[in-house]
Structures are given as C-alpha cells and as structure tokens.
Amino acid sequence: MIRRFHALPLRSRLALLTAVAVAVAVAAVAVTCWFVTRAQLKDELDNSLKNSMVSTAALNDMARQCNPSPPPPPRAGFAYSQLVVGDGQRCVAQDSFGVRVEPEDVQVLNGELDDSLHDSVTDTGAPVRVHTVLQRTPQGQLVAVSLSRPLTEIDATMNRLALLLTVLAGVGVLGAGAAGLWVARAGLKPVDRLAGAVEHVARTEDLTVRIPVEGEDEIARLSRSFNAMTAALASSRDRQAQLIADAGHELRTPLTSLRTNIELLARSEETGRAIPPDDRRALMASVKAQMTELASLIGDLQELSRPEAVAPGPLEVVGLHDITRAALERARLRGPELTITADLAPWYVRGEQAALERAVVNVLDNAVKFSPPRGTVEVALSLGRLTVRDHGPGIAPEELPHVFDRFWRSPSARSLPGSGLGLSIVARTVRQAGGEVALTAAEGGGTRAVIRLPGAPTPPPELSVVPDERLHQA
C-alpha cells in the first residue's frame, strides 16, 4: 500500500493527503458534535424528568388500583409513571407503559438513595430514561415514584443529525480533494518548471538554462540554487575547456622540439652517419631539458586540476622562515651570478610544507628569471609578510590583473622558459593557507611580490626559537 502511494505523482499525493487530513478533521468534528449534542439532549431530558412530579390523584389511583402490567395505553410516547412497591414489583398508571424495575429503583424505595436517574426498557423493549424519587402520599406514606420518557425522542433527533453530518462530511471531503488537487497543481508549477529545466539540461547538456525566480519562498530559493549551480557548472566547463586548450598549446612546443631531436638521433642510427660529438651532446641536453620541462608542466597541471577545497597533504605547523631559507638555496643554484639577500624573522604558519615551499620557489624563480645579469634579489620576512623584490624590467600596469591567470605570460616573457602556471599555483596555495598574494611595480624599477600568511596559534616545540632572533643570509 505504501509503495503504491509513493508511486503516485506528487500532485496526486498532495491532493490525497489533503483529502485524508480534511476527512479525519471532519470526522473528528462530526463525532464530537454528535456526542455533545446527544449528551445535551439527554441532560435536557433528565432535567425534564427531575422537574416533573406525579399528581396526588395519580398517586392515589396507582396505590388503589395496582396494575403490574396494564395493556399498552393509547397515549404511548408521553411520560410514563409507576410506583415501585417491592423487589421488582410495581404499580403502573393506567396511561403508561410498564417499565422494568431496576436495582436503583429498589434502593430509592429502601431509602438507600435519594433519587436515581438511569436507563431501562418498557415491557415492549423500548428504551426509556427513568427518574425514581420518593414522594409522600396524602396519607403521609413515602412511596418510590418512577417517571420515564422514551429515548426515541433523542434517537430520532440524533439519527437525523448523523445523516446531516455524514452528508456534510462527504461534501467537505470531496471539496477538500478538489481544492487540494487545484492547490497542488498551482503550487507545483514552479517545480514543474524546475523539473523541465533539469530534464532539458540532462538531455541537451545546455548549461545556459535559467529559471525565472519569483518571491522569497522555498521554491524561489530552490530556483536560485539551480541557477547558481548551472552557472557554476558552465563556468567550470568553460575553465576546463580553456585549461585543456591551453595545456595542449603549451605541451605542443616541448613535444615538437623533443620529437625533432629524437628523429635526428634515430635517423643518425638508421643511416649510420654519426652526429658530431658536440652536436650529439647538445641534442641530448636539449632532449633532457625538454623532458624536464614536460615533467614540470605535467606536475603543474596535476596541481591545478585538484579541487581547491582539497588540501594537497596533511596540515601542520611549519616555519615559513625555514621554508624560505630552503627555497633560497634552490634559487641560488638557478642564478649563481645573482646576489640574493635575505632578512628573515621567525614566523610559523599552518599549512602543507611541500606546497608552501613550491609556492615560495615559484616566486623566487620568477624573480631570478627576470633579473638582469649580476642583479640583486631582495627577500624579507617580517610578521607573516614575505617580500621578494627584483630589479628586472617590471610588469606593465595593464598586465598586473592577469599575472595569476593560468597560462598567462607577458609578451616579454614568452621567449623565456616556463608554462605560465607558476604564479597560478602560488595564488592557489596561498589561498588554501588562508593568506593573500600580490604583485606590484617596485619603486626604481622591477617587481615586488608580497605574500601574507596568518600565523599559527603556537609553534611546535621542536621548532621554537627566540622570537627576536633574526636570520640573515647574503
């Protein structure tokens, strides 16, 4: 049954649930109304019996002419009266039906109860409501008098009320079902539009679809979320396509050069014409350089293809000054003719050591690459602010907004080795560590790169140093 319910369309389920809810509410109200009305009518009947008394003449007649079971009187349906004269014995008035004597009536006769209200039946089986009370005869004798009225008066009224409530409940349930279906259709129109848009995207992969947003309700929030999702997916797909195109373009150059050099070596082996030793060494060095460039480019692509929300490795508290010092050693090997000065104050950050070191190395490589021969690169670290300044040609102001874009290279740098991914990796790594990076034109020429990283709460014990200690390198 539950499976069949869940198999129904959503609007049918909403209409059915609305009808069921209204049916339950109407049924509860109708039953409550029926019982309250019946109780009220019964109370009125009881009050009528309590306020009624048998006349003195009637008492004398019943006492003088005791008829235990008289024939049915012609005035049936009015109040019936009788005297209780013993255990199950009675004297019935001439114009009344005989009513069965109940134990409560005998208790009133015996003085155990002042009066009694209870249900009973006539000799013909008709239900009645009985009120038994002690009354004094003109001779001063106390007798138990039972006044009865048929419950058919209430039953007839209650039957008519039950029929009326049943009809009203049926009409209410049908109306609620129709209203629920109409409300479901009207309320689910935005959901239908959303479902249609999702089906269209799944069928055509068209991520430009947008759903009109109206209001501030849950459907509007869902529509806005869908629009934001498709926009993000479209942007991601565009970036992916651009990354593939740029990567293909960057890979083509080293692959072409590598293929040319390998073909020269293979042709030499096939023809038996030896390449001069100096030329062969140059070819092998070129092949090695191109393979190194390919490996570096593939590593950069792998780094950029990883989602930014995923950390490259376990986070730990590391010394940024130690990372910078290790990166400086590698930078001096790549630019031995340059003068690299460093003024490093201890600073601890929370991040992944290898990724941070790669970011600092990329910044230093960029400075070494654009420094003039025998130039100077100045490095300083103070209170989480790492500055790398070179004295090269600098970057044009209109090019500064693009320096952290993937594969972007300034016109003056396109003849130099590199893929244009280094600074993109720097920006990504710094963001993951909660910092920021910027490139600006330096006074007097050159470029200044500034990396700001928040400090860790406490340095690890094995890396603790005196805070005022300065690390000087030249």
Q: Which residue would you say has higher pLDDT here, 13 or 165?
A: 165
Are 63 and 41 in contact by the 8 Å Cβ rule? The answer is: no
Q: Which residues contact 260 (CB under 8 A, 6 or more apart)?
A: none
Other CB atoms within 10 Å distance of the CB of residue 307 = 5
Superfamily of domain 316-473: Histidine kinase-like ATPase, C-terminal domain (3.30.565.10)
461: pLDDT strictly greater than 90: no
Tokens of 360: 């600092």
Q: Which residues contact 131 (CB under 8 A, 6 or more apart)?
A: 46, 49, 50, 52, 115, 116, 117, 146, 147, 148
pLDDT of residue 266: 84
pLDDT of residue 388: 92
Sign of CA dihedral 45, 46, 48, 49: positive
Give the whole-angstrom CA distance, residue 430 versus residue 408.
19
Q: What average pLDDT score do residues 326-348 get?
A: 85
**Which of 68-77, 118-127, 292-301, 435-444 is the least confident region?**
68-77
471: pLDDT strictly greater than 60: no
pLDDT of residue 74: 45
Give the whole-angstrom CA distance, residue 37 versus residue 161.
9
- Render pLDDT for 123-160 as a digit per residue (tens, 0 to 9): 888 888 898 888 877 777 778 888 888 888 788 888 88
Other CB atoms within 10 Å distance of the CB of residue 346 = 19
- Render pLDDT for 80-109 as a digit per residue (tens, 0 to 9): 888 887 767 788 887 778 888 888 888 888
77: pLDDT strictly greater than 70: no
Q: How far is CA 405 from CA 193, 250, 302, 371, 408, in A?
A: 38, 14, 16, 22, 6
Which residue shows structure tokens 């004295």? 391
pTM: 0.45
Q: What average pLDDT score do residues 168-177 get?
A: 81
54: pLDDT strictly greater than 80: no
Which residue shows structure tokens 């015996």? 110
Quick one: fold of 53-152? Beta-Lactamase (3.30.450)
| Strand order across the beta sheet in which 339-344 lies | 436-441, 447-452, 385-389, 376-382, 339-344, 471-473
Per cent of the chain over pLDDT 70 is 77
Q: Which residues contact 191 (CB under 8 A, 6 or more apart)?
A: 10, 219
Q: What average pLDDT score do residues 210-239 get?
A: 79
24: pLDDT strictly greater than 90: no
Give the whole-angstrom CA distance, residue 59 versus residue 399.
122
- Render pLDDT for 399-417 as a digit per residue (tens, 0 to 9): 777 777 765 555 555 445 5
Other CB atoms within 10 Å distance of the CB of residue 91 = 23
Whether domain 218-305 has CATH 1.10.287:
yes
Most confident of 114-128, 198-212, 262-276, 290-304: 114-128
Mean pLDDT of the chain: 77
Strands (E) located in 267-314: none
- Render pLDDT for 341-394 as a digit per residue (tens, 0 to 9): 889 999 999 888 888 888 888 888 888 888 888 888 999 999 889 999 988 887
pLDDT of residue 165: 85
Q: Which residues contact 364 (CB under 8 A, 6 or more apart)?
A: 327, 328, 330, 331, 377, 379, 388
C-alpha 144, offset from chain centre: 74
Per cent of the chain over pLDDT 90 is 3
- Render pLDDT for 261-286 as a digit per residue (tens, 0 to 9): 888 888 888 887 888 888 888 888 87
473: pLDDT strictly greater than 50: no
